[in-house]
Structures are given as structure tokens and as C-alpha cells.
Chain A
Amino acid sequence: MMLTSSHILATWRSGVRGRSFHAVFALGIMLLLCAWLAASFSARQPQAVALDVGLSGIRIGLTLLSLMWVQELVSKEIDRRTVFFVLAYPAPRASYLLGRYLGVMALATAATILLGVTLALIVRLAGGDYQQIHSTLIGWPYVASLAMILLDIALVTAFAFCLASFATSALLPLTLGFGFAIGARALGPVIDFLARGADGDPEFAARYSPIINMVRWFLPDLDRLDLRTWPLYGVAPEWEAVALAALAALVYTGMLLGIAVAAFNRRTFA
């Protein structure tokens, strides 16, 4: 337990001292610009568009950041063999891996808070004097959306950790992790599209439905964790579905971390 917490602290320090927080700052500025510009495209709902694009920016930006942290703080340590110094201590390897994971998640949480506050300010300022008819909800609905984005990031990060535990290339967790995130987020809309009859093409639906039904057992449905219709349009989510989605994400994350620890324990470092 003590060792895990020291790894969390070491990860946090490495993350803060490294370039990652500069990246968060740069991402924040980019987010600010994108959300601001996006608001000017809107005819009737500038604040909602700023919030919508901003939340997408946070989701994609945090994914890239957390994958970069995994690459920097785990994969490259293995690559450079600096991990040997840590593993030489009489402590389980799991404490290193889980400590690193929780450290990355602490960094991701801090980045979420920073970007979330920045976005809330942009939304307040977006649109100038124009008051949109249906106002956005920058309160608990917004906080809940950010919390669910963080859960989404926790799962994607766990996947990257799983890859890093056995990958021989430092680039693999970054590239495959991002591909996994895209696939898992697109799964929900694809299931929905097929369930609606694939735009009146029953042949297409019949051909791909069995494949997607198979895929959904392996790939998590991260679209379920996106609650933004609540802060955007005031449409509260169905809580049973949200609870199940959160539970499913936690279980999946737990499984991935379990596989990561098992693979890391068995790994032979040459």
C-alpha cells in the first residue's frame, strides 16, 4: 500500500515536472479557441455549441494526454530500462503498475478540473450579448458529464496500461489505445444505427448486426458514458442506464488492470 502510494506520488511529480502540464496548458488554449470559434457558427445556441465542442475537445484531448502519459511514464521507462531500478526493490510488481495507473489518473483528474473550469468560462462568454432561448446547465449536470468523461479516460488508460505491460514498442499503447478509444466511442452509434434498420437497408442490418453483437462483448460501449445532453439541453439521463454504464466501465477497467498486472508479473526483462 505504502509502495503504491509512493509510485502515485512519483508519477504525479514526473507528470507535473515534465512537459505534460505544458501540454495541458496548450490544450486549454486550443480548446478555448475552438469552442469560441465554434460558437460563432451557431445561429441560435452559441453557448450550447461552445459547450458541445468544448466537451468533445476535453474528451479527445484527455485521451491523447493520458495515452502520452502512459507512453512517457511506463512504456519509455521499460524501453530505457530505468524500470529495473524500481523493480529491484523487494516489492510486488503490481504496486509499481497500479501506482503508475493511479498517478496517471490523478494527473488526468487535475487536467479535467483545469479544462472543465476553462470551458465553463468560455461558455459564459460565448455568444456575446445574444441570449439563447434554451440555456445550458453549467452546474451539477456539467460536473456529472465531466465525471463520466473521466471514467471513460480511466478505461482507455487501463487499456493502454494493459498493452504497455507486454508491448515491446513504446508507440503501441499510444496508437492502439487511440484506435481502441475511437472504436469504443463509435460502438454505441453503430449499434443504434443498426437497431433503427440501417436507414431502411434491412440487408445491411442483417449482415452486420451479428458482427456488432459479437463485438459488443469485447469492446465497451463508451458512448453510454457521454451525458452531455443533460447540460446542453436539460435532458436528464436515465439513471439506471447511467449506473449500469458506470458499473460496466469499472468492471472492464478492473479486468484490464488485472490482465496488465498478470502480464507484467510474468514479463521477462532482457
Chain B
Amino acid sequence: MRWLYRSIWIVAALGLLMLHLLVTDALHQQPRHRVQDEMQVYLPRSAQLVSAAGDRYLAANFAVFRAFMVGTHQLQPSTYVVLANLQRDASYFNPGHEDNYYVAAAVLPWNDQVEATQTILANTQLGRPTDALPAFLYGFNQLHFLQDPVGAAKTLQLAAARMPDADTRTSLEAIASRWVTQGDLDEASRLLRIMATQTRDKAFRAYLEKRIARVDLLKQLRMAVAKWQSERGGVPTLEAMVARGYLAGMPVDPLGAEIVLDQQGNPLAVAKKARGGQ
């Protein structure tokens, strides 16, 4: 009788072990539903403040950490709206936050969030009165995104007057005069290169390098279109330019967007789901 009980126990234990192995293996084969890591939730500013125990600097840090955790891959347009709101709030909580304005300037205006970026940079100029970069970035956005070289130069001249050292003042005034005369893509490429060398975050640097590659690509396309127009006249298509040897091949955007020519022949990078960005 005892022998029978012991046998039943051993069979039951072996059965459970087998079942465990089978279930574990079957579970491992099942597809894993990924949690959507893009930012979709935006808390009102008062809730952000309370969740940081009333400490506005901590609230700013929480917002910037969230912005960092979103990643640098191609995001949904709605995510950029949330990101812009969050970073704008951070600039109100702590106008001096360096990472906030830096990341905002590198990501947001390139994704249809120019107005929010300008608000962030305007706040930052108040919070960091001796830092020339926020004014420079604000002016750059006026030049590149808002097509306002005169306004951009004025911003730099006003910022130059506030700078404590003569070297920075002279540099800003030199850039202001260059902006009135030179193309925006040259400046965009130069700015992105500076930003990429100054960051310590590898993923962020890689993202900026892709942006540089896109700007360089758009610059080359612009030159090729200008050459076509001087030699043949009219507005070409990308396919025609490849066929006639003006381009080595169809342009591929490093950030995954689609490269198109608008009706005037200006090259643009268009997001695949929503139109925006350059």
C-alpha cells in the first residue's frame, strides 16, 4: 500500500514537471505584446507639479527625463505634440534647464513643432541670460523654419548686446550678418554638426548625425535642381533627374522619410504618415 502511494506521488511529481516544461515552452513561443513606449499621456502642469511634491525643478527634470526616454526614432506626429507640451512645461518650471532646450531645439522644430520650440527657447533666454546658444537657436529657427532672416539677425544682435564677453558678442554679430546673406541649409548643417559634437548621449548623437546627412542630402538635391533649371529650365522630377544623370540614384532619407520635390522644385523630406518636417 505504501509502495502504491509513493508511486502515485512520483508519477504526479513527474507529470507536473512535464507539464511545467511543456507550458513554459509553449508560453515562450507565444508572441510578446510590446507596450507602446511612445509618449501618449500628457499631465496638466498642476498635476506635474504636485507629483513632484511641489518642487518645480524636480517637475522640470521629470518632464525632461520623459522626453529623453521617448527615444530618437521616427515617432508618431501626436507624440511630437505631447513632447512639445511637456518640454514647454519644463521650460516654465525651470527656464534654465540646459538639456531641455538643447533636445527641444534638436527634435521639435524638425517635426512641425516650431512654435513650441520658440516658446521654450524664449523662456530659456530669460533663465540663462549669459548663454548665447538659446538665442542662436531661436534665431536659427527664424531663419530656417520661419524664413525670416532679418528677424533672425535681429535676435542675434539683441543677444549679442547681452553677452558679457567681447568674443561672444563679435561672433554673434558675425553670424547675424552671414544669416542675412547665406542659405539656410548651410547654416543648418553647421549647427547640427556643432550640436552633435557637444552631446555625450550616443543615441542622441547618432540621431543628430542622421539629421546632418538629411540636410546634406537636401543641399545636394537643391544644387542638382538648380543645375537642371539653368541647363534645361522647368521643374524636374526625381526620376527624370536620375535618368538624365543629374543624380546618381533615387535619394534615400536617412531618417526614413520620403524625399520629394515640391511644385517649385524645392526638395523636401516628407514624413510617411503626415506631411511635415524637412
- A contact residues vs B (CB 8 Å cutoff): 38, 41-46, 48-49, 52-53, 55-56, 59-60, 63, 127, 130, 132-134, 178, 181-186, 188-190, 192-193, 196, 222-223, 226, 228-229, 232-235
Contact = CB atoms under 8 A, between A and B. Distances in A.
Nearest to B130: A234
Interface string B82-103: 0000000000111010110011
A181 B198 contact: no
A49 B53 contact: no
Contact of B50 (A59, A186, A222, A226): A186
B58 interface: yes
Nearest to A188: B56
Contacts of A134: 98, 131
B130 A44 contact: no
Contacts of B131: 134, 233
Contacts of A56: 52, 55, 57-58, 61
Contacts of B128: 233, 235
Contacts of B200: 42-44, 46, 127, 130
14 contacts: A38-B61, A43-B199, A43-B204, A44-B98, A44-B199, A53-B61, A56-B57, A56-B58, A63-B53, A181-B54, A185-B55, A185-B56, A186-B50, A192-B92
B201 interface: yes
B96 A235 contact: yes
Given A229-B96, A235-B96, A43 B201 contact: yes
A41 B65 contact: yes
Interface in B83-138: 92-94, 96, 98-99, 102-103, 127-131
B61 A59 contact: no
Contact of A185 (B45, B54, B96, B204): B54
A60 B53 contact: yes
B68 interface: yes
Contacts of B64: 41
Contacts of B199: 43-44
B204 A182 contact: no
B164 to A, nearest CB: 11
A57 to B, nearest CB: 8
Interface residues of B, number: 33
B57 A226 contact: yes
Contacts of A55: 57
B127 A233 contact: yes
A181 B199 CA distance: 36
Contacts, number: 100
B52 A42 contact: no
Nearest to B200: A130
Given A189-B56, A226-B55, A229-B127, 7 more contacts: A42-B200, A43-B102, A44-B99, A45-B98, A53-B61, A185-B55, A232-B96
B36 interface: no
A54 to B, nearest CB: 11
Contacts of A44: 98-99, 102, 198-200
Contacts of B261: none
Contacts of A130: 200
A54 B180 CA distance: 44
Nearest to A127: B200
B211 to A, nearest CB: 14
Nearest to B205: A43
A186 to B, nearest CB: 4
A86 B193 CA distance: 71
B68 A41 contact: yes
A38 B52 contact: no
Nearest to A37: B65
A38 B55 contact: no
Nearest to B51: A182
Interface string B144-173: 000000000000000000000000000000
Contacts of A233: 96, 98, 127-128, 131
B46 interface: yes
Given A38-B65, A43-B200, A52 B57 contact: yes
Nearest to A131: B200
B235 interface: no
